[in-house]
Amino acid sequence: MTSAAVMSAYAFRLIAGGYVWRLPIKGLDYATVAWRFQEKEALAFANYDKVPVLTDGDTVVTDSFEIMRYLDRAYPEAPVLGEGVSLQRVMFFKQLVERSITPALFKIVVLDLLEAIHPDDRAYFRKTREARFGATLEAVSNPEQGRQQLKQALVPVSAQLKESLFLDGETPSGADYLLFGSMMWAYTVSTEPLVEESDPVAAWFARMLEVHDAVAGKAMTIRDL
């Protein structure tokens, strides 16, 4: 059976959020459900309070990385994380993205993000994030410093992207989706430049927008509003 036949046999109901861009949705039939921060009752079935949440038949999977692992297991034709050493390496890369890259992106886009979310959710977003950071959003916001920090954090990524089209080789895989998840989240809410055009990361990002029939490239962003 080809992977396409296996995958198209399933219908997905995916409740989407920023981290949804981590998910490799290669050729799978899926539907996304719009969700707002405070609609916790809509996630009660999953016993979780954050998105993305994936439902596949009777299976409910929470946490974007767990969803990536589930998709590897359920549709093993083209795994993106692998097992053993491969999984360990991609987990290490996930740490790098979450601890060095996402915080830098946050500094760049936080005020645009506040502006992009539904007006009724802004007070909730401000309260929860300011409690988490122990500082006002205005104090966290520092696009210039964020870009410097991002550039530093991306030095090894830029170097690798001079060697191969994607971090994982000729086609995107787990490491690409993890980095893209964070960068796409920033790109959807802000027109702030993230990396210099001459940086290989910029060309990589443009390539990532085109994969799987440009599912990301066709997504609505702040540029469409």
Task: Say what the alpha-carbon torsion angle 188, 69, 203, 211 is, to the nearest 10 degrees.
Answer: -80
Residues 6+ apart with CB under 8 A from 192: 108, 109, 112, 143, 186
Which residue of this chain has its Cβ atom nearest to ligand GSH in the complex? Answer: 50
Min. distance of Cβ 222 from ligand GSH in angstroms? 16
Min. distance of Cβ 195 from ligand GSH in angstroms? 21
Interface with ligand GSH (CB under 6 A):
17-19, 37, 49-52, 63-65, 128
Residues 6+ apart with CB under 8 A from 209: 216, 217
As a whole number of angstroms, the distance between CA 144 and CA 149 comes to 9
Kindly tell me which of 176 and 199 has the beta carbon lying closer to ligand GSH. Answer: 176
Kindly tell me which of 64 and 190 has the beta carbon lying closer to ligand GSH. Answer: 64
Kindly tell me which of 87 and 165 has the beta carbon lying closer to ligand GSH. Answer: 87
Min. distance of Cβ 122 from ligand GSH in angstroms? 12
In 12-121, where does DSSP find H-type helix? Answer: 64-74, 84-96, 102-116
Min. distance of Cβ 134 from ligand GSH in angstroms? 16
Q: Do you find a cis peptide bond into 156, omega within 30 degrees of 0?
A: no
Kindly tell me which of 17 and 174 has the beta carbon lying closer to ligand GSH. Answer: 17
